[in-house]
Amino acid sequence: MKPRILVVNPNATESFTDGIRECLPQHPDIDYDFYTAPLATAPLSIEGVYDSIVTANACLQDLKERLHQWDGFVVACFSAHPLAHALRELTSAPVVSILAAPILIASTLGGNPAIITTSPRWVPLLTHDIHTLGLSALCKHVVSSGMAVLDLERLPREKVIQTLSTIVRDELVGCREADVIILGCAGMAGLEEAIQQDCGDGIVVLDPVRCAVEMCAMALRMGTSTAKRGLYASAMAPASSA
């Protein structure tokens, strides 16, 4: 039986999940399932730390008893989402964040990666999250597109691509001399080819969800798992006596 990866959209916008499903390539040795957080308990978008905590709880309450069904997990929120850390405590399956994966991949493809995110609120949040993950040296630039997360769904696709491409070309490439561009939201999945074409030769644009899925698949092919000593020891394990 082929291993299965669950791609978790921790917000309640089903169309974001559909967009991810449509743009991921199929692999002959890996199967994918897709999950959207329940509308009754999760917001339509994640706009900060509070939303991250609410969505992590909503997903855990719904998924906790079913985690054994999957061999790997991808948390499709571009942040140090608490769901990723919780899943690593609850399962030995590999759990990959769409924030960490593209930064690590970008560091092998260029010398000056940069992130284009959604609203200005996410610039300090992502800068903090990247520092917390110990990845600041690998990605020093985070720039806002000025769009809300849900604008990626509500606005015409051409308008979204034009807005992102202009900022990438003028600010990240032109002013900051970035050579690898990371799309900083799961709602941008599938836009990398259009943006790369708009920005010209020599620039690499990465879809964070695809990066995370490929990294999770690689871990499964290698037969690796989440270490259960130290940081990600089981949350259910009794504390050792002194």
Q: Which residues contact 60 (CB under 8 A, 6 or more apart)?
A: 83, 86, 90
Instruction: Quote the pLDDT of residue 100.
Output: 98
CATH number at residue 51: 3.40.50.12500
Count, residues in the chain: 242
Domains of the chain: total: 2
> 165 and 129, same structural domain?
yes
168 in any annotated domain: yes
Structure-model confidence comparison of residues 241 and 33, the more confident one: 33
Q: How many CB atoms lie within 10 A of CB 105?
A: 20
234 in any annotated domain: no
- When the pLDDT of each residue in the chain is averaged and rounded to a whole number, the result is 94
> 216 and 204, same structural domain?
no
Query: What's the whole-number mean pLDDT along residues 23-34?
Result: 92
> 117 and 72, same structural domain?
no
Instruction: Quote the pLDDT of residue 242.
Output: 46
Compute the CA torsion angle 169, 188, 202, 177 (nearest 10 deg). Answer: 50
> 75 and 41, same structural domain?
yes
Instruction: Quote the pLDDT of residue 199.
Output: 87
Instruction: Assign 132 to helix, strand or coil.
Output: helix
Query: What's the whole-number mean pLDDT along residues 47-63?
Result: 97
48 in any annotated domain: yes
> 26 and 38, same structural domain?
yes
Give per-residue pLDDT as tens, 64-101: 999 999 999 999 999 999 999 999 999 999 999 999 99
27 token code pair:
């692999």
> 202 and 163, same structural domain?
yes
233 in any annotated domain: no
> 113 and 48, same structural domain?
no
169 in any annotated domain: yes
Structure-model confidence comparison of residues 194 and 242, the more confident one: 194
Q: How is 93-123 classified by DSSP, letter by letter? A: S-EEETTHHHHHHHTTT-SSEEEEESSTTHH
Answer whether residue 237 shows pLDDT above 60.
no
Give the range of the structural domain holding residue 160, as residue numbers without chain letter: 100-208
> 91 and 59, same structural domain?
yes
Cα–Cα separations (whole angstroms), residue 84 to 96, 100, 110, 147, 196: 7, 11, 27, 25, 29
> 82 and 138, same structural domain?
no
Give per-residue pLDDT as tens, 137-159: 999 999 999 999 999 999 999 99
Answer whether residue 40 shows pLDDT above 50.
yes
Give per-residue pLDDT as tens, 202-236: 999 999 999 999 999 999 999 999 999 999 998 76
Cβ(210)–Cβ(23) below 8 Å? yes
138 in any annotated domain: yes
Answer whether residue 31 shows pLDDT above 80.
yes
> 146 and 85, same structural domain?
no
> 108 and 70, same structural domain?
no
> 217 and 182, same structural domain?
no
185 in any annotated domain: yes
